[in-house]
Structure 1
Amino acid sequence: MLQELTAYIADTNKTQASVVTFVLVLVGAKIILDLTRKDKTPPGPRGVPILGYLPFFGTHPHITFLKLRQKYGDIFSIQMGGFPAIVISGKDLIKEALVKKGDNFSGRPKFYMNSIVGEETLVFGKFSESFITHKKIAYNCLYVFANARKNPIEDVIGEEAKIVVSEFNKQNGKPFSPSDSIYASVGSVIFQICFGRHTNIHEEDETFQIFLKNTRKFIQFAGSGNPMNVIPWLRYVMPWKVSTVVELFNQVKGIRKQKVEESLKTNTPSSPRHLADGLTAAVKEAEADPSSVFTAERIYSTLDDIIGAGFDTISSTLNWALLLLTANPTVQRKVHAEIDDVLGQRQPKLDDKSEMHYCMATLNEVSRFASIAPISLPHAATKDTELEGYTIQKGTIVIPNMYSISHDEMLWGDPLIFRPERFLDADGKLDKNITDVFNPFSMGRRKCVGEFFARMELFLFFTGILQNCILTKPDHIKEYSFDSVFGLTVSPVQYEICASLR
Structure 2
Amino acid sequence: MDLLPLAVSSVIFLLVSVFLYSWKLNSSGTKLPPGPRGLPILGYLPFLDRNLHLQFTILARKYGPIYRLWLGSKLCIVVSSPSLIKQVVRDQDTVFANRDPTIAALLGTGGVDIITSPYGPYWSNLRKLFASEMLSHANLDASYVLRRNEVRRAIRNVQEKIGTGVDIGELIFVTELNVVMSLLWGGTFEGEKRDRIGAEFREKVSKFIELLEKPNLSDFFPVLARFDFQGIAKEMKDLLPSFDEILDYVINDRLKIMDSEQVEGELPSAKRGKDFVQILLDLKEQNVAEESMTLTQIKVLLVYSTTIT
Normalised to the residue count of structure 1, the TM-score between the two structures is: 0.47
- Deviation (angstroms), 1:142: 1.9
Alpha carbons 1:43, 1:77 under 8 Å: kept? yes
- Structure-2 separation of matches of 1:164 and 1:295: 36
CA shift digits 1:341-365 (9 cap, x unpaired): xxxxxxxxxxxxxxxxxxxxxxxxx
- Structure-2 separation of matches of 1:280 and 1:57: 45
Q: 1:101 to 1:204 in 2, by over 3 A?
A: closer
- Deviation (angstroms), 1:245: 2.5
2:79 maps to which of 68, 88, 94? 88
1:134 maps to which of 126, 130, 152? 126
Equivalent residues in 2 for 1:406-421, closer than 5 Å: none
Equivalent residues in 2 for 1:301-320, closer than 5 Å: 301-310=300-309
Equivalent residues in 2 for 1:354-373, closer than 5 Å: none
- Residue 150 of structure 2 corresponds to residue 160 of structure 1: yes
AA aligned opposite 1:94: I
2:202 aligns with: 212
1:49 maps to which of 18, 33, 40? 40
Question: Per chain length, whose mean CA-contact separation is higher, i.e. which structure has more relative contact order (CA < 8 Å, sep 6+)?
Answer: 1
- Structure-2 separation of matches of 1:148 and 1:294: 18
3-state secondary structure, aligned to 1:77: strand
Alpha carbons 1:184, 1:212 under 8 Å: kept? no
1:423 aligns with: none
Alpha carbons 2:201, 2:243 under 8 Å: kept? yes
- Deviation (angstroms), 1:177: 7.9
Q: 1:157 to 1:56 in 2, by over 3 A?
A: farther
Alpha carbons 2:104, 2:211 under 8 Å: kept? no
- Structure-2 separation of matches of 1:119 and 1:261: 24
2:187 maps to which of 197, 207, 210? 197
- Structure-1 separation of matches of 2:299 and 2:281: 8
Equivalent residues in 2 for 1:84-483, closer than 5 Å: 84-116=75-107, 117-144=109-136, 146-148=137-139, 151-153=142-144, 155-165=145-155, 170=161, 172-174=163-165, 176=167, 178-179=169-170, 181-197=171-187, 205-223=195-213, 225-232=215-222, 233=224, 236=227, 238=229, 240-267=231-258, 271=268, 273-286=274-287, 292=291, 294-310=293-309
3-state secondary structure, aligned to 1:79: strand
- Deviation (angstroms), 1:139: 1.7
- Structure-2 separation of matches of 1:244 and 1:224: 12
- Structure-1 separation of matches of 2:192 and 2:48: 39
- Deviation (angstroms), 1:68: 0.7
Q: How many pairs are equivalent?
A: 270
1:40 aligns with: 31
- Structure-1 separation of matches of 2:191 and 2:45: 42
Q: 1:234 to 1:130 in 2, by over 3 A?
A: closer
- Structure-2 separation of matches of 1:58 and 1:168: 41
AA aligned opposite 2:253: E
Q: Which structure 1 segments of 5+ residues have no match?
A: 1-33, 311-502
3-state secondary structure, aligned to 2:95: helix
Structure with higher Rg: it is 1
Q: 1:76 to 1:156 in 2, by over 3 A?
A: same
3-state secondary structure, aligned to 1:41: coil
CA shift digits 1:307-340 (9 cap, x unpaired): 1222xxxxxxxxxxxxxxxxxxxxxxxxxxxxxx
Alpha carbons 1:235, 1:241 under 8 Å: kept? no
CA shift digits 1:200-246 (9 cap, x unpaired): 65785322111111111221221164555334526725364432222
3-state secondary structure, aligned to 1:103: coil
List structure 1 runs of 4+ shifted beyond 6 angstroms: none
3-state secondary structure, aligned to 1:44: coil
Identity rate of aligned residues, in percent? 20
Q: 1:122 to 1:73 in 2, by over 3 A?
A: same
Alpha carbons 1:81, 1:231 under 8 Å: kept? yes
AA aligned opposite 1:81: G
Normalised to the residue count of structure 2, the TM-score between the two structures is: 0.73
